[in-house]
Amino acid sequence: MAAKIIDGKQIAADMRAELKEDLIKLAKDGIVPGLGVILVGDDPASKSYVTAKERTCEEIGIYSMDRRLPADTSQQDLMALVNSMNADLKINGILVQLPLPKHLNEAEVLLAIDPGKDVDGFHPMNVGKMVIGEEAFLPCTPHGIIQLLVRSGVEIEGADVVIVGRSNIVGKPLANMLIQKNSKANATVTVCHTRTKNLASHTRRADIIIAAAGWPNTITADIVKEGVVIIDVGVNRVEDATKKKGYRLVGDVDFEAVKEKASLITPVPGGVGPMTITMLLYNTIESAKRAAGFVSDK
């Protein structure tokens, strides 16, 4: 029996409807959460992503400040803009779109963001708090993955989870989040990567596999067990002459084959992707609540 599809678009839409209700309540107290977005250069993928974030902010009622800078922007000018957003009371969250042009010091820029406005969850202070289990802004993609699992009825507690990939954006933070002592975690986690020997020996025993390797067909049907839950984070372009653009998007999982063994699986696109922006908005609203002295009930 083929797997049930985890519809990231629908789950993201449900969450955005919930966030809109939060915004209506905050508006009654005169509070409008604000997101400051900084884009340096004209990378097409980054421009598309930033535009999507701004459009979603407008749709649900979050104030968005858009600052687009030329590719030759100096470190000094970029730092000055970050500092001005830190001081701006209308801005509750700051997003510096990555990657930055190579002449800019990315680590210095991220460190300059006020941790209380670090809605991407990349500031070392928020990363440290996350690791020790204190309240912090959680990185958007890992947090979105956990929401997908929870809202799909997947039992995380006690599950054997294998994460394939160890990036600072997905693999490392997700592993830390899943081992925490809380109702949305308590899993046993194995992190596999490019130096892992015999990947199949780990994935074949997994109850949940999160594929974030950045390579098509990393997870194939012969290395997963029946009934496994699959979360595919990968977004890869493969040549396809039948498509107008000459390519199609696929994940890190051999979707057609693996779905015949899995119980639940995310598609690419339409799985994890829609959740990332949604969790960014979630963090921005949480930041506004904290600034107003509200205690989150989520």
* One-character DSSP codes across 209-262: EEE-SSSTTSB-GGGS-TT-EEEE---EEEE-TTSTTSEEEE-SB-HHHHTTT-
List the beta bridge partners of residue 40.
69
Contact between 117 and 287 under an 8 Å Cβ cutoff? The reply is: yes
What gap in Å lies between CA 98 and CA 228, rounded to an integer? Answer: 33
Contact between 162 and 209 under an 8 Å Cβ cutoff? The reply is: yes
Q: Where would I find the H helices in the chain?
A: 8-28, 44-60, 75-87, 106-112, 124-132, 140-151, 171-178, 199-203, 255-258, 273-291
Distances (CA, A) of 278 to 28, 107, 178: 22, 25, 20
If you count them, how many residues does the chain have? 298
Number of neighbours of residue 99 by Cβ within 10 angstroms: 12
Q: Which residues are catalytic?
A: 53, 97, 120
Q: What is the 3-state secondary structure (H, E, C) of 177-221?
A: HHCCCCCCCCCEEEEECCCCCCHHHHHCCCCEEEECCCCCCCECH
The amino acid present at 88, given as its one-letter code, is D
